[in-house]
Amino acid sequence: MKLKYIVKIFVIIYFIFGITNSFAENKIVYIDMNRILEKSKVGIFVEKELTKIHEEKLDKFSKTEEELKKEEIDLISKRNIMDREEFDKKVKFLNEKAQNYQIERRKWFDEIADKRNKARAEVLKSLDPILSEYFEQNQISIMLYKRNIAIGTSELDITDIIIDKLNKKLPSIKLN
């Protein structure tokens, strides 16, 4: 008895959803935002410039680290020769220098992350009108992000088209 009801419910559900899906002509596409940010001209430009700036600063940081290590080794080697109070003062001073270095380094990493986020925000801001225009021109019903899709055919992926349009509109940006 219960089996008949379950079968009837499945048949009714199948007809309801089967019929609506056959008449629906919704156009659904998806885009890969990470690929847009990595493969577009502006994305490549931003990453290249930020990497160059970051590596230059890292060289300065490594030189500072070497100097601090040399000072520490020098101080340790003079430990037995120096007066206890003078040694403690120099240790305290060296610790302050090391803390200031760590603060400066942390500040730099936060600053470079902030620059990267601002650049991405500017790219995404420029991307909005491109997506809206494409959405309207091609009568798309739904546009999804690729990260929210488990499986989809490659014909629904419009990332390359959007990258081409973005490359024409925004080849580079100014990094502050």
Mean pLDDT of the 159-173 span? 88
* Total domains present in the chain: 1
Range of the domain at 157: 2-169
pLDDT confidence band for 90 (50 / 70 / 90): confident
111-142 confidence digits (pLDDT tens): 999 999 998 889 889 899 999 999 899 888 88
* Calpha distance 14→25 (Å, rounded): 18
**Is 146 contained in some domain?**
yes
Closest CA to 74 of 90, 89, 92: 90
* Calpha distance 97→71 (Å, rounded): 10
**Is 174 contained in some domain?**
no
**Is 175 contained in some domain?**
no
